[in-house]
Amino acid sequence: MTKHEKKEARILELKTKHFAVIILALILILGLYLRIYHIDYPVIGYHNWKETHYLTEARNFAREGFFKYGFFIPYYDYPKLYGHPSGVHADTFPTISIIVALAFMIFGRELWVARLVGILFNLGSVVVMYFLVRELYEREDMALLAGFITSVLPLFVFFSRNVQLINPALFFMLTSAYFYVKWRKNFSGRYLILTSLFLMLGTVTKYSFGVIAIPMLLTFPFKKFREWKKCRKEFIIAFLILLLFPSWHLYANYLIPAEYREVKQAGLHQIQIEKVFELNSRLIWSFIIDNYTEVGFYIAILGLFFVAYDFYKKRNFSNLFILGYAFSIIPFTILMSSKLSGHNYHQYPIAPLVVILIAYFIIKIADFFGRIRIEGMRIRYSGLLPIVAFILLFIPINTDFYKSPTYDSIARQFDTQFPGLDIAGEYIKEHSSPNERIIFPSHQSYGVLWHADRKGYGIGIPKPEHFEYSKNKSLNVTWIFIYQWGLRLLQHEEEWNYIKERFSLKQIAFKPTESGSVPIYLLMREGGSFDESKLNDMLRNRKINKRIYETTMGKYVVVYVNFD
């Protein structure tokens, strides 16, 4: 190569690098745009239960300190009625709660502050996915495509906005995979140590993210142990770092005071292998459609066939790693069987596999188009056609002419709302002291606790013995929030009579429909009584308040009346 040719090659390489950086930046801007939708919206959305879990942990950390019940032992605002009244519990390491608490202490206890933390972690995962795929396959186009798919995947778009452990855990897991691939290429000790560090962080944050260790083990060069004397330092350090994971589990589940670990949110006790025979295939399929779209899932299956075929033709580490990741779905499903039929976000640890397989399939199709010749002439940029087509398929678009499946899935999750939780919570906060507590009907009504800034007990049908116990233990249960599904309480004569003889109505909310106003909830406070037959008289001449909520399809109104 001449001096001039070398100079041109360097210029081309520089342009390619700059082009990749620009494209990746645009991908991140798109990802941020999709994720900041409703960043400051009330805690009334899909899976507000889990969001309330970590939001209230963070608020309690920020307000009362990180070490009140031990070394970063978390405490949320929905203790068990018969458990420790503080809400302290054994759990995985509360990474997101700690970071959000620090953000609260700096910027104030605002919802956008908390949600931005998860969004930034998820956007970080977009970047790491790009570097991971580039390191695996040494292809800029596949890496950028994988980054793009990560940025628009419905599962990531919606749940990155929710304050949950899964977002830092995903970032740590992907980072550990990236450093592992780097280590496999040059066996630098620092990459092994970084692999161990991020694997430990991902797993201790959310145990299910340890699934990435399976493809690592299946591709691990155990012959390196023959060079023990040469490599022992990095192996020992990596091993000691990994020990922090079981150390935390041992500490949180067995070493803190017994009354603090009456409630265990994570641990071996949650593994119920027999549940694999009870998996709800119809429900899981609906989760798959929500998470990846139906077409995305089928493309991933085709991508897996391509990976397997290419590995059969030529065995290499990269495809073996992906096949090992695919194999890990089997033990993952068995160990997570008690969870997978419950919530779609439990698929988070295996979602990166779907992303990589989709990108792999698209690039293979693009390579095929790029080889097409007409009369012996190659068509310039023909390989870009399928890439552009698939990008248009996956980018969230909603027009009069076309609505993409990703948009449909993202909108469906954002539009699942439980209005009124904020209204009731704000009323309680304004009309109560901090030590007063709430009984609420569990399920997706936990958001009321965040807005009330009060602790509460999730009980579907509160019974007289629940109230007697709370009085004997001085728990100060003074509020009952009867929300939607909780309204079935009115059909339980004994329980309802007990309540309405001791509690008075303080607020009621309705959702206007074409067939009339539908009650959403009753908010009652201890003291006085309530006769539902006189409700119409109570409503007469009362001020009608309104609150406007928003979905991707438009706005809707909830009306409510206060009885001060």
3-class DSSP state for residue 522? strand
Largest distance between two CA atoms of the chain = 95
Q: What is the C-alpha to C-alpha distance for residues 343 and 373, in angstroms, rounded to an integer?
A: 48
Distances, alpha carbon 423 to alpha carbons 14, 542, 544, 546, 560, in Å: 56, 17, 13, 10, 8
What pLDDT score does 399 carry?
A: 87
Averaged confidence pLDDT in the chain: 92
Sign of CA dihedral 111, 39, 156, 219: negative
Q: What is the pLDDT of residues 378-396, one digit of tens each?
A: 666 777 888 888 999 899 9
Please provide the distance, in angstroms rounded to a whole number, between the alpha carbons at the two ends of the chain: 86
Please count the CA atoms within 13 angstroms of the CA of 344 that sit on its side-chain side.
22
Per-residue pLDDT averaged across 520-537, rounded?
94
pLDDT tens digit string along 153-178? 999 999 999 999 999 999 999 999 99
Contact (CB, 8 A) for 83 and 262: yes
Residue 562: pLDDT over 90: yes
Residue 11, pLDDT score: 42
pLDDT at 368: 87
Tell me the whole-structure pTM to 2 decimals: 0.93
Sheet holding 503-513, edge to edge: 456-458, 437-440, 477-483, 516-526, 503-513, 554-562, 545-551
Angle between helices 464-472 and 493-500 (to 10 degrees): 50
> Quick one: pLDDT at residue 377?
63
If you compute the radius of gyration of the chain from its CA atoms, what whole number of angstroms results?
27
pLDDT over 90 percentage in the chain: 79
For 290, the token pair is 């929500």
Tell me which residue of 434, 473, 475, 471 sits closest to 452, measured CA to CA: 434
Question: Counting Cβ atoms within 10 Å, is residue 491 exposed (0-12), middle (13-18) or buried (19+)?
Answer: exposed
For 225-257, write each residue's pLDDT tens digit: 888 778 889 999 999 999 999 999 999 988 888
* pLDDT value of position 274: 64
Reply yes or no on whether the pLDDT at 214 is more than 60: yes
Asked whether residue 9 carries a pLDDT value surpassing 50, the answer given is: no
Strands 456-458 and 516-526: unpaired
- Residue pair 115/163 in contact (Cβ under 8 Å)? The answer is yes
- pLDDT(149) > 50: yes
**Bridge partners, residue 482, by sequence:** 522
Considering only 12-16, 43-47, 129-133, which range has the smallest mean pLDDT?
12-16
